[in-house]
């Protein structure tokens, strides 16, 4: 078959998922609201001193974004499993990994992108110095797709089970430790005036690897979990 139908299928799936996400606009706002609430609680717990808040700002924003994404991750394939369209996707002639990659992209656009847009506000609330802000955004731009890709593999593994919320967090924690370390490391290095390119480059390398491997792993996991 020529490549034209494949690109059409990809575009159609992306459009469908984004339309579905747009129809449930309230769900898109939930993670952002959650991140806002969590970030607001930190100054109350730790005290309003500028120096302390500046020191923790980068890490708090990163962890908050991670938790907000975890909150939305559970729903990545939920509605598609319930109405059976995921099984149709598995049976479709197009390669499953590519189709799942499109679904992950749509999910990232719908959940992580609003969080990245809200990140300057969150960081500003914690007095993150303005020169560090671009590094934080760059780190988030690389770390959030990585988390979406890793999370998608785990969500696919739990597709055959009913309860998965806490289990998903338990399974994701070991995988997101390196992501958090490098993303927060870049922000911390920028804040101390040290070179911050190395951790960003590591994140980029991991993202490139995950972009290739995670959709394949996700497809394999989905086949295992739906194989009844």
Partner 1 sequence: MANWIPLWLHKLGSPPIFYRFAGVLRPWMLALAVLLGAVALYGGLVLAPPDYQQSDAYRIIFIHVPSAWMSLFIYGVMAVASFIALVWRIKLAEVVAMESAPIGAAFTFITLVTGSLWGKPMWGTWWTWDARLTSELVLLFLYLGVIGLYHSFEDRRQGARAAAFLAIIGIINVPIVHFSVNWWNTLHQGSTVRILGPSKMSGDMLWPLLTMMAATKFYYLASLFSRVRVDLLAMESGKDWVRQIAEREGRQ
What would the x/- binding string for partner 1 be over residues 70 to 99, using CB under 8 A?
A: ------------------------------
CB of residue 52 to partner 1, shortest distance in Å: 16
Of 32, 133, 153, 210, the one binding partner 1 (CB under 8 A) is 153
Chain positions 195 to 214 lying near partner 1, rule: CB under 8 A, are 199
How many C-beta atoms surround the C-beta of residue 192 within 10 A? Answer: 9
Check binding of 170 to partner 1 (CB under 8 A).
Answer: yes
Distances (CA, A) of 152 to 96, 140, 169, 210: 13, 18, 12, 11
Separation of alpha carbons 82 and 33, rounded Å: 26
Complex with partner 1: residue 35 or 150, whichever CB lies closer = 150
For the chain, give me the number of helices (H) and strands (E)? 10, 0
Check binding of 135 to partner 1 (CB under 8 A).
Answer: no
Separation of alpha carbons 104 and 112, rounded Å: 11
Question: What are the backbone angles phi and psi of residue 79, rounded to the nearest 5°?
Answer: -65, -30
Interface positions with partner 1 (CB under 8 A) = 153-154, 157-158, 160-164, 167, 170-171, 173-175, 177-178, 181-182, 185, 188-189, 199, 217, 220-221, 224-225, 227-228
């Amino acid at each position: 078959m020529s490549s034209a139908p494949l690109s059409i299928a990809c575009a159609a799936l992306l459009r469908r998922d984004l339309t579905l996400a747009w129809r449930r606009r309230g769900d898109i706002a939930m993670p952002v609201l959650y991140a806002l609430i969590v970030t607001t609680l930190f100054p109350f717990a730790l005290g309003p001193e500028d120096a302390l808040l500046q020191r923790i700002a980068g890490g708090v924003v990163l962890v908050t974004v991670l938790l907000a994404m975890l909150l939305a991750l559970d729903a990545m394939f939920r509605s598609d499993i319930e109405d059976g369209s995921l099984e149709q996707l598995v049976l479709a002639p197009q390669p499953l990994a590519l189709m799942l990659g499109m679904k992950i992209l749509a999910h990232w656009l719908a959940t992580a992108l609003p969080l990245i847009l809200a990140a300057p506000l969150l960081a500003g609330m914690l007095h993150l110095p303005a020169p560090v802000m671009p590094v934080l955004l760059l780190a988030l731009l690389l770390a959030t797709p990585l988390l979406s890709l890793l999370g998608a593999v785990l969500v696919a593994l739990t597709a055959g089970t009913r309860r998965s919320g806490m289990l998903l967090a338990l399974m994701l924690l070991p995988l997101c430790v390196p992501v958090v370390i490098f993303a927060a490391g870049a922000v911390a290095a920028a804040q101390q005036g040290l070179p911050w390119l190395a951790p960003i480059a590591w994140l980029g390398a991991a993202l490139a690897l995950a972009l290739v491997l995670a959709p394949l792993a996700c497809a394999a996991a989905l086949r295992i979990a739906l194989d009844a």
